[in-house]
Amino acid sequence: MRRVLLLAAVAATAGCGGSGAPHLTALQQQGPVGSGEKEVWFYAAKGKPRSLVIFLHGYGGPVEETPKNHIPWLKHLAAEGSDVIYPRYEVGGDSDPYPNIDAAVDEATTRLGKPHVPVILVGYSRGGRVAVDYAAVRAARGKEPSAVLAVFPGEHSQYETLGPLKKLDSKLKLEIMLGDKDTSVDGRGARLILARLELAGFPASQIQLVGVKSTPSFKADHFSVMKTTPGAKAKIWKPADELIDSVR
Looking at residue 60, its pLDDT comes to 82
Looking at residue 24, its pLDDT comes to 80
Mean pLDDT of 217-233: 97
Looking at residue 25, its pLDDT comes to 85
Statement: residue 4 has pLDDT above 90 = no
Hey, what's the torsion of the CAs at 47, 225, 58, 201, to 10 degrees? 80
Q: Which string of DSSP letters, residue by residue, matches the chain?
A: -HHHHHHHHHHHHGGG-SS--TTSPBTSEEEEES-GGG-EEEEBPSSS--EEEEEE--S-HHHHTSGGGGHHHHHHHHHTTEEEEEE---SS--S--HHHHHHHHHHHHHHTT---S-EEEEEETHHHHHHHHHHHHHHHTT---SEEEEES--PPPTTS----GGGS-TT-EEEEEEETT-TTTTTHHHHHHHHHHHHHT--GGGEEEEEE--BTTB--STTGGG--SHHHIIIIIHHHHHHHHHT-
Residue 234: what residue type? A
Identify the structural domains of the chain with CATH numbers, from first to last.
26-246 (3.40.50.1820)
Instruction: With cut-offs at 50, 70 and 90, classify the pLDDT of residue 105.
Output: very high
Instruction: With cut-offs at 50, 70 and 90, classify the pLDDT of residue 15.
Output: very low
Mean pLDDT of 126-153: 98
pTM: 0.90
Statement: residue 23 has pLDDT above 60 = no
